[in-house]
Amino acid sequence: METLSENRCFGGTQGVYRHPSTTCRCDMTFGLFLPEEANDGPVPLLWYLSGLTCTHENAMIKAGTQQWAAEQGIAVVFPDTSPRGDDVADDPEYDLGQGAGFYVNATQDPWAPHFRMWDYVAEELPALLAERFAIDPDRQAITGHSMGGHGALTLAMNLPGRFRSVSAFAPIANPTGSDWGRKQLRAYLGEDETAWLRHDASVMMREAGFDGPVLIDQGTADQFIDLLRPDALAAAIAERRQPATMRMQKGYDHSYFFVSTFMEDHVTFHGEALWA
Q: Which residues are catalytically annotated? A: 146, 222, 254
Up-side HSE of residue 35: CA atoms within 13 Å toward CB?
22
Chain-centroid distance of CA 85 in Å reads: 21
Alpha-carbon radius of gyration of the chain: 17
Q: What is the DSSP letter of 257?
A: H
**Amino acid (1-letter code) at residue 49:** L
CA 259/CA 59 separation, integer angstroms: 9
Residue 124 in 3-state DSSP? helix
The answer to whether the bond into 110 is cis (omega within 30° of 0) is yes
Q: How far apart are CA 152 and CA 206, in angstroms?
A: 16
The pair phi, psi for residue 143, each rounded to 5°, is -145, 175
Please count the CA atoms within 13 angstroms of the CA of 87 that sit on its side-chain side: 7
Distances (CA, A) of 208 to 1, 49, 148, 173, 200: 37, 21, 20, 15, 12
Measure the CA angle with vertex 130, ends 127 and 136; round to 5°.
Answer: 125
Q: In 98-115, which positions are buried (b, 16+ CB within 10 angstroms) versus exposed (e)?
A: bbbbbbbbbeeeebeebb
Q: How far apart are CA 230 and CA 171, in angstroms?
A: 8
